[in-house]
Structure formats: structure tokens, C-alpha cells
Amino acid sequence: MTETTLPVVLDVEGLNLSFRTPNGLLPIITDVSFDVRQGEAVALVGESGCGKSVTASAVMGIAPDNAEISGRITLNGQVISDLPPKKRRALCGRHMGFIFQEPMTALHPTLTIGRQMTDSIRHNLGLGRAAATDRAAELLDRVGIPRPRDILKGYVHQLSGGMRQRVMIALAISCGPSLVIADEPTTALDVTIQAQVLDLLDDMRRELSLGMLFITHDLEVVGDFCDRAVVMYAGDVAERGRAADIVRKPEHPYTSGLLAAVPADDDLRDRLTPIPGTVPPVGQWPEGCRFAPRCARADAACLERPRLEPKRATEARCWHPMEEQA
């Protein structure tokens, strides 16, 4: 089955999110659109504060109470953005799984691993206690945790960082969701454990035909792990396309700058090349291209907001894409 015929699991169209404040609405993300197909991993990538995690929270229906959201979010053909909060939350676990960045804070410290897993399984799948325990043990074994029934009796603080993340993965897939959202799932891990967790996520995605939304700031991971990528900057989509094209032939100067700041294995440079300046504060975005104040290619045309349009290999929101250097 080719990429174009794979069923769409998640479709996000024209997503806008603002926070209500005493001074009015504070825009956080604007006009964000992408989709995730069955069995593929799509990355949301960018610097801290670009809107990646807020976008994921809007998809999951767990955005803060003061958030005002517009646009359309569709899961397996059902428009979920219009559902009331109770019905939206009911989708979590059974239809959408979530892998948090830091399991130590995401998992309950005073409940056993088994209690946390079986409660979710019994609630979402309607299994009895014994059957839910059997499924929890099977899942822990599936993600490579030895002595799974002993681990079910333990607590999160008794596990290593890699083991905690494996528990999070088992919990995320425990009720057979079609979509898993992984929010920086390897950030707190050392390089060796990070590689093991990424391999495990890749195996689970392919084995279970999961759609995966992978949130990261690491373009190196994007190139190795993801099928497609959405590069975000200041709450906006700067570039999107096949992950291989974005890593090898970036069109947007921001994407090119992110790649220049990634150390290569054979790179003998004394210094990396940072992107000058900083991400503008929320609510203080330029009227035109939001990256223009940091971009060496900016000119008068950049005073107008560019459209997200097809370029040489990807779609980029830029008046002066990197293709002009080719």
C-alpha cells in the first residue's frame, strides 16, 4: 500500500489556539494543518516555545481551560473538535495514546504500575481484573521489560529511566489506539537508551499499524525515525513534507538553520552555526514573515506574511526559499 492510499488517522485543518487573558486573546498557534496516516510517523519539530506541545494538547483535548480553539480536528473520519469535553476525554486511551516526556511525573507515584495499567485497560476495554492483569503483563513483556508480573507490583521510583519510558509506551498502546502522540519521549534519556526506545517505538508503530505524532526538537531523530515532518516556528508552520526531503533539501531558511546547528558524526568544526537572535515572545510576532528578524535573506517582501506553498521538494512559508540557491 502506497503512502497516498494509507487511511488517514488524524487530520488537523486550520487549527488556531489562543489563550484568554485580562488583556484579550493571546494567539499561540495559527493556521496549523497536517495529517497522520496509518502506520506512519509524522514529526512536529522546532525550537522550544514554537507551539509543538500546545498543538498536541489541542488534538488530545487537554488544552488549558482558558484556551480558545478553532479549526477542525478529525480522528478516523470523525470530527472530534466539536465534541463536548467529556466525550473528547473518552477518546483518550481507547483511540489516542500519549507518551509523555517525563514518566516520573506522568505516572502516579503512590500507585503500583499494575494498578495504573489495569485501571485503564478495565475502563476502556471492559476486561475483568484477572484478564486486565494478564494483558498488562503481556504488554510489559512486549516492550522488553523482564519479569513483567514483578514489575506490575512495583512503583515508578523503583525503575530506571529507560524502564519507565517502556512502561509509558506499554500504557499508551494498552487499549489498542489508532493514534499515539509521543511528546519528546527520549529527551531525558542517555544516547544508548534513547536509541533503544526509538527502535521500540518504531517496532510498535509498524507491528500495530499505529499512526504516530512525534514531537521533538531533534532533526536528527526526524530524519532517522519519521516519514514526514512539520517544522513549526513561532506558532506557525514554516515547512512540511517528507522527512527525508526536509533533512536533505530544506526549503525554509529556518529549517536550514536548525540543520546547521546539528552536530554531525564526522563534523570536525570547532563551533556549530547557531541561528542568530531568539524566538519572538508570544503576542509579539512580526506582522509579515515571523522568521524575518532572524533571517539573512529577509527583504521588503517579507513585511507581508508568505503563504505555505510547494517549492522544490517540500511546502514552505517563505518568499525567498533555499531553492533559489540551487
Instruction: Please count the residues of the chain.
Output: 326
Question: Which pLDDT value is given to residue 2?
Answer: 40
Residue 264: is its pLDDT beyond 90? Answer: no
Task: Write down the mean pLDDT value for the chain.
Answer: 91
pLDDT band at 148 (very low <50, low <70, confident <90, very high): very high
* Mean pLDDT computed over 13-28: 95
Question: Which pLDDT value is given to residue 133?
Answer: 97
Report the C-alpha gap between 219 and 241 in whole angstroms.
13
Residue 176: is its pLDDT beyond 80? Answer: yes
How far is the CA of 309 from the CAs of 306, 314, 317, 321, 323, in angstroms?
Answer: 9, 8, 6, 10, 13
Instruction: List the single range of 14-18, 60-64, 168-172, 317-321 with lowest mean pLDDT.
Output: 60-64
* Mean pLDDT computed over 194-209: 92
Report the C-alpha gap between 83 and 25 in whole angstroms.
23
pLDDT band at 189 (very low <50, low <70, confident <90, very high): confident
- Beta strands 41-45 and 67-75 are unpaired
* Mean pLDDT computed over 261-271: 63
Q: Which helix (H) or strand (E) holds 42?
A: strand 41-45
Report the C-alpha gap between 293 and 249 in whole angstroms.
23
* Mean pLDDT computed over 151-167: 94
How far is Cα of residue 208 from the mean position of the Cα atoms in its chain? 18
Report the predicted TM-score, pTM, of the whole model to 2 decimal places: 0.91
CA torsion through residues 108, 147, 98, 105, sign: positive
pLDDT band at 1 (very low <50, low <70, confident <90, very high): very low
- At residue 63, φ and ψ (nearest 5 deg) are -65, 155
Identify whether the C-beta of residue 285 lies closer than 8 Å to the C-beta of residue 235.
yes
Residue 155: is its pLDDT beyond 90? Answer: yes
Report the C-alpha gap between 41 and 39 in whole angstroms.
7
CA torsion through residues 230, 233, 235, 236, sign: negative
* Mean pLDDT computed over 42-66: 91
Q: Tell me which residue has cell 499561540.
A: 28
Residue 56: is its pLDDT beyond 50? Answer: yes
Could you tell me the three cell numbers for 319?
518568499
How far is Cα of residue 282 from the mean position of the Cα atoms in its chain? 20
Instruction: List the single range of 56-60, 214-218, 262-266, 303-307 with lowest mean pLDDT.
Output: 262-266
Residues 6+ apart with CB under 8 A from 74: 8, 10, 11, 12, 13, 80, 81
* Mean pLDDT computed over 75-96: 90
- Beta strands 41-45 and 211-216 are parallel
pLDDT > 90 fraction of the chain, expressed in percent and rounded: 72
Sequence letter at residue 157: H
Residue 84: is its pLDDT beyond 70? Answer: yes
Instruction: Dump pLDDT digits (tens) for 234-258.
Output: 999 999 999 999 999 999 999 999 9
